Structure 1
Amino acid sequence: MQAFFVLKCKDVQLSDLKFVNSPRKHLSLYDTVGAQVSRLTIKAPEDSPNTDGIHIQNSQNVTVFKSTIGTGDDCISIGTGTSNINISHILCGPGHGISIGSLGEDDSEAKVERIHIFNCRLSNTTNGVRIKTWQGGSGYAKDISFINIFFDFVEKPIVINQYYCDDNDNCSNKTSSVQITDVYYNNVKGSSSEETAIILDCSETTSCNGIVMENINIKSAKDGDGETTKASCFNAEVIIKGDVKPRLPCSSDS
């Protein structure tokens, strides 16, 4: 059961609403064209499963801004069939961060593009800004930007995971994957609670292309003890602009 479900609507406006302790997703938008969502407060315990704050799928021209979300799952999740989504001025935490995906489940085709997330703050979340896909999917996720993002004690601040697997599933290796291209990170800063702050884990058969990182500075939350952060990447082509910390082993300067 979901607290609020918007289905097959046009030019929707939702504002100044409060959702507390939904048994599953708090607000879902499906098959909707044109929506403006603002000034929401969404709260659920951080150990409550599948309690996404806002889920958007098969929808276009959606704006979400000036909202505070803390749940046991993604603050905002973006599924397939979405385009022209703008998310800004979100306070996220606790929860699993802001996620695009998961995409490509059960060998399905994904179509996601023009997703822009900016001016957001994430605190005490397990992930920061994340793109996640299942093995065996197809299609694309492209033209995605994360700009002016601040992390405070986030476990995995920047993640691309093309090996997403629910803990209850036995996920075997598959050759096909959702193609991830043209992802832009700019002015992304803050602290990581774990040593590895950036994880780009792309498909073995289809590399992530057009990944640009500009002005990134993610420090260890234990910085006072001399701790530093690291980055890892697999089959990703990354272009570095400006100062980027931690440094990615798969990057090249523009």
Structure 2
Amino acid sequence: MRILSGILVIYLISIILLSHLTYVAQGRAHYHKRPRRGLSDPPPPSAPVADPPSVPSDPYPTPESNSCVFDVTSFGAVGDGSCDDTAAFRDAWKAACAVESGVVLAPEGGVFKITSTIFSGPCKPGLVFQLDGVLMPPDGPEEWPEKDSKSQWLVFYRLDSITFAGKGTVEGNGQKWWDLPCKPHRGPDGSSSSGPCVSPTMIRFFMSNNIEVKGLRIQNSPQFHMKFDGCQGVLINEIQISSPKLSPNTDGIHLGNTRSVGIYNTVVSNGDDCISIGTGCSDIAIEGVTCGPSHGISIGSLGVHNSQACVSNLTVRNTIIRDSDNGLRIKTWQGGTGSVSNLRFENIQMENVLNCIIVDQYYCLSKDCRNETSAVRVYDVEYRNIKGTYDVRSPPIHFACSDTVACTNITMSEIELLPEEGELLDDPFCWNAYGTQETLIIPPIDCLLDGSPVVEESNDSANYGC
């Protein structure tokens, strides 16, 4: 009986424990059970998105900075001022010409001598001739190779988008050329003897477009320092051109048949025209230029041998001309045709200049020139805010226009020119020149005629071929 009671107690305890475990199991199942989602319930959260792959800091790395630089010393240039480095420059040019943004480098510290060379195109865009050293030709006519042209030295031909720049020097070795007996040697009194003879222009751009020349020093050219022939789109900035005051035919910058030109922040001192502008030139801006000693800024000479000449749309402003034989000059030959028009000279400072403002339509290099009926027409010329001093050996204003084709529509405003030394010359010269004085002019220019000549009313620009 006692045994049955024990078994019964154990049985009752088992029943109680089993019921408790079932309750706990059901409670846990209820806690973890996912409720059934209705139509209005929000969707379950999406799985987390993995972080995007890291992006390189420079996905398009540029090539090595020197990958398109062709150093002439790598092509065999010695750069000692004695060896002939011509072949190295030609080879470096050929390599640079074949790639975009190629650079021909003449490095600092080298003195490179090369003979007359034509650097020709077409080339890939963006070509640069980087001169950081010194570049020079053979020393005088005796060293000049017989096979080379004596009329030019460095020629850049048929190029588009070319830069000639650097901190270096182009040295022309001009002294032995200037000393040739055929050169027109100028004495201290302005007299000259003999006539011109063949000597090389130092730098010539020929039939090329989109040219930039910047930062260079160009000096002692045998003849013209820089010429641009048949070019379009020229930018000259921050260069220095120099040669002695009495060096013959050493024009600084010459333009011929060239359009869209800017010459800025440049210093020129030489023995001839600071800047000369020939026929076929238009759309030219000259600003921030210092000239002198020199023969000033000249248009012409034009119309030689009864030829046609056209120059238009020129602006010269914020410029200094000092110690020069001329200031702002237009010079034409008798017998020519064409026109010079739409010129503006503004904010010009003169310092001891002979012939500050001059138009000479009787230009002649001998005593054999005759007065002729045809002439290059000069019209629409403005002179504004031109002040400073002049050399009293000649009146500061001189308008000598053709007998048959007058200069017309000349505008004078805020002109004040005083003698550098001596007494004021108050007799400016005018011949067949018509225009307007907007302000009081010093010295007074009573000889400028009002209105326009009757004969001009029947003429238009078409009659002059421009």
With the shorter chain as reference, the TM-score category is: over 0.9
Q: 1:85 aligns with which of 276, 284, 288?
A: 284
Whether the 8 Å contact between 1:241 and 1:253 is mirrored in structure 2 is no
Q: 1:242 aligns with which of 432, 439, 447?
A: 439
AA of the residue aligned to 2:358? V
Please state how far the C-alpha of 1:253 moved relative to its aligned partner. 7.6
Q: 1:230 aligns with which of 401, 423, 427?
A: 427
AA of the residue aligned to 1:79? G
- Show the 5 A alignment for 1:144-223: 144-167=343-366, 170-194=368-392, 195-222=394-421
Distance in 2, matches of 1:205 and 1:252, equals 15
Please state how far the C-alpha of 1:230 moved relative to its aligned partner. 3.1
Structure 2: runs of 5 or more not aligned: 1-199, 452-466
Name the TM-score, length of structure 2 as normaliser. 0.53
If each structure's strand is expressed as a fraction of its own residues, which one has the higher value?
Answer: 1
| Cα offsets for 1:42-61 (capped at 9, x unmatched) | 11111111100000110100
Distance in 1, matches of 2:299 and 2:406, equals 18
Distance in 2, matches of 1:105 and 1:16, equals 35
AA of the residue aligned to 1:238? G
* Residue equivalent to 1:20: 219
Q: Pick 1 or 2: higher relative contact order, CA cutoff 8 A, min separation 6.
A: 1
Please state how far the C-alpha of 1:233 moved relative to its aligned partner. 0.3
Please state how far the C-alpha of 1:242 moved relative to its aligned partner. 1.5
- Show the 5 A alignment for 1:44-55: 44-55=243-254
Structure 1: runs of 5 or more not aligned: none
What is the identity percentage for the equivalent residue pairs of Structure 1 and Structure 2? Answer: 37
Name the TM-score, length of structure 1 as normaliser. 0.95
Please say if 1:102 is aligned against 2:297: no
Alpha-carbon spacing, 1:129–1:79, altered in 2? closer, same or farther (3 Å): same
Higher mean C-alpha deviation, range 187-196 or range 108-117: 187-196
Q: In angstroms, what is the RMSD of aligned CA positions?
A: 1.4
Alpha-carbon spacing, 1:174–1:233, altered in 2? closer, same or farther (3 Å): same
What secondary structure is seen at the aligned counterpart in 2 of 1:47?
coil
Please state how far the C-alpha of 1:250 moved relative to its aligned partner. 2.6
Q: Which has the larger radius of gyration?
A: 2
Please state how far the C-alpha of 1:131 moved relative to its aligned partner. 0.4
Q: How many residues align?
A: 251
Distance in 1, matches of 2:442 and 2:424, equals 13
Please state how far the C-alpha of 1:248 moved relative to its aligned partner. 1.3
| Cα offsets for 1:37-90 (capped at 9, x unmatched) | 011111111111110000011010000010110111000000000000001111
Higher mean C-alpha deviation, range 229-238 or range 53-62: 229-238
Whether the 8 Å contact between 2:433 and 2:449 is mirrored in structure 1 is no
What secondary structure is seen at the aligned counterpart in 2 of 1:148?
strand
Q: Flag as ranges the 4+ runs of structure 1 deviating above 2 A.
A: 225-230, 249-254
Distance in 1, matches of 2:440 and 2:218, equals 40
Q: 1:116 aligns with which of 315, 327, 342?
A: 315
Distance in 2, matches of 1:72 and 1:252, equals 35
